[in-house]
Amino acid sequence: MADDVRQRTDDELAALLRRRQDLARPAPADLSSLAARASTRASVQRAVDSLDLAHLQVLEAAVAATSPLDTTAVGTLLGVTPSEIEALLDDLWTLALLWGSPEGLRVTRTVVEVLPHPAGLGPRAADTFVDIPPTDTIPALLADAPAAARAILDRLTWGPPLAVLPPGTPERLATGARWLLEHHLVFSPSADQLVLPREVALALREGRSHAAPALQPPGLEGQTRAAAEVDAAAGQQVTDLLALVDELAAEWGLRPPRVLRSGGLAVRDLKRLASVLDVDEARAAFVAELTYAAGLLADDGSLDPSWAPTPAYDEWQQHPGDQRWAVLARAWLLTTRAPHLVGTTPAGASGTVNALGPDAHWPPARGLRRDVLDQLAAAPVGLAPDRARVGTALGWHRPRRVPASLDTVVAAVLGEAEWLGVTGRGAISSAGRALLAGRSDAELAAAMQPHLPEPIEHVLLQADLTAIAPGPLAGGLATFMRLVADVESRGGATVYRFNQDSVRRCLDAGWSVDQVLGALTDASHTPVPQPLDYLIRDVARRHGQARVGAMRAYIRCDDEATLGAMIADRELSPLQLRNIAPTILVSPVAAETVLDFLRENGFAPAAETPDGGIIVPTAGQHRTPLQRRPAPITAQAVDDELVTTMVGALRAGEEAAAYQREEVASRPGPSLPSTDPTTTLAVLRDAAADRQSVWLGYSDADGRVLRILFYPERVEGGRVHGTADGAARTLSIHRVTGAVQG
């Protein structure tokens, strides 16, 4: 495979690095290192998992075929013509899952480890040292098989090829299993297992590796919408979303809910939020999670923590609606939060997932969200595909990466995309396409701006204590209306309802009655109705008659002279002592500080409990503050400029390595080319599989580098086991300085 990689052109190497970006980080030293890294299990696993169903089926057929590959034989296994799979085989070669030898294409060795049962086929009979009857005699042999034996074969034919016979198996099935073992159609690796050899399975499948080859992606079907209709619906959804975020911030800015001890939002607080927003709990969880992902909401980090808007929200709220949407859309596309998990119970968990909690973090969410949206973007403009069709298409494009709950995930992503305005009436919007194309925030805002209604700066006051906003309100007026009134209904026009609680809320925020009436007069195209005027003045007349203040400490003493001395003492002025009764002083300072001040100034107070008992101090223990875990770091994409630079560096590194190899080969001696651990592991594994010798540079306990001709047998646990000089040896791989095949 290393020779195959060295013979590739610069364009072919660039294509490999673009398709398998994990090979580029960190940058390999030369082409041999690139080939070794491309054959590691982790990298091959990632590449195989990224294949669509067509490429995966062709690769599975290639693993099942004999090596070197014959295009006709692979096509026969799939039941298609060779011309239908030539392009797919070329793609697999580009990905280095196949490599070219003088005899033809071969499957990369690690692919066989990643796909131990390709297409549900078991191991080859030769690999398990099992003698099976000639494949052309199997149909005639099965004509006399008992029904139980046929039933077992029917289960094993299309995979999985392993069956387990638990204790208490019915005699009928046990008899069938014995018949299959006696006729060598299956073998038994253990007392309770049966395995169907690959050759027998292919004979039962009539030479086909797959029951139904799927080399073409399934089409998307659904209703077609006009582009203007889609964008208009998306714009309306964005208007509603921005209003919901503002209402959440207004509600939690006044009454922030507590953070649970385990993190997240309590169920009762989520229900209250849903009631305030007038939406169901699923959408309320989405709004909260989206606001949190955009950095507009966070844990305030106090001693008794609560969820509250961040300073970034105040800045975000001052921008136009299209720019605010761009921030939310970008955050949604990149977040690994999964709002659809809120309220569910994960497998093996004892409780449900809370909104804003750690269990709502689901790393596959970002990739699956992008995959679903890519299916919508690939559909014709204006097509609103059926949900089931989207799930089927996603299963074809990522057959090894879809979760068991695929239908639920697809439904959740489509619903969230609709709420966010990425889609409108089920079809992707023009702004949604700009989001998927990776446009800048300014371009995203420009794509959404034509579809958002212009903000207005007036309302229509009604005599029934309501106000109608015939469109989205401008920032300052929207904030005022949310403060002085409650949202009663939302849509093309928003209806606000005035009541005693809402007016009191505005007065609590520091507004006077004249300021409230003046602001309503300026904002309304109609005069302030008399019922509303009476309501505001009546609430204002009773507002503040009783007052509540906060004090952190009190001083109780039966001797009024002592309390008078405390008030007169200038050294105690920082305590801001105030007399509220002849024998009681209060202070806004913490009780511990009051105690220290009094004792330092000649008084002898004692701390007491709320029920009047004396507090006996105890020695405390120091605790470190809670540490926040750093955000995960994601690798940057490998762009064309980096690929071009890396290909040049690989060529230069390969020339230096080739010169070193020639020098080593020309003269015997203790020196060996140094190789990185990845290359060393690949060389040792290949040599062990091919039963070849390897020249090793090995650092002994004294620091000397020895030259050893080694015959590796197996590589495991950071060690390589084999023979050297006719004796069995086990070497630590971290001590190997270099390795080349002997």
Q: What is the tens place of the pLDDT at every residue in 214-234?
A: 899 888 888 999 999 999 999
Closest CA to 71 of 49, 45, 93: 93
The whole-angstrom separation of Cα 709 and Cα 723 is 9
Does 114 have pLDDT greater than 70? Answer: yes
**DSSP code of residue 337:** B
Q: Which one is the CATH code of 135-204: 3.30.1360, 3.40.50, 1.10.10, 3.30.420? A: 1.10.10
> 171-175, 249-253, 576-580, 695-699 — which is least confidently predicted?
171-175
Query: For the domain 668-741, what is the CATH code?
Result: 2.30.30
Domain locations in the chain?
Answer: 135-204, 224-451, 460-542, 553-600, 668-741
The whole-angstrom separation of Cα 374 and Cα 172 is 51
How confident is the model over 336-385, as pLDDT tens digits? 999 999 988 877 677 889 999 999 999 889 989 999 999 999 888 888 89
CB 141 within 8 A of CB 183: yes
Q: In what order do the strands lie in the sheet with 553-556?
A: 553-556, 584-587, 578-581
How confident is the model over 320-329, as pLDDT tens digits? 889 999 999 9
Does 735 have pLDDT greater than 90? Answer: no
Does 664 have pLDDT greater than 60? Answer: no
pLDDT at 673: 63
Does 670 have pLDDT greater than 50? Answer: no
> 13-17, 44-48, 84-88, 123-127 — which is least confidently predicted?
123-127
The whole-angstrom separation of Cα 217 and Cα 222 is 16
DSSP, residue by residue, 470-500: SSPBPHHHHHHHHHHSEEEE-SSSEEEE--H
CB 260 within 8 A of CB 299: no
Higher pLDDT, 395 or 656: 395
pTM of the complete model beyond 0.85: no
CB 202 within 8 A of CB 359: no
Q: Report the SS3 class of residue 21.
A: helix
Number of Cβ within 10 Å of residue 600's Cβ equals 10
Average pLDDT of the chain to the nearest whole number: 84
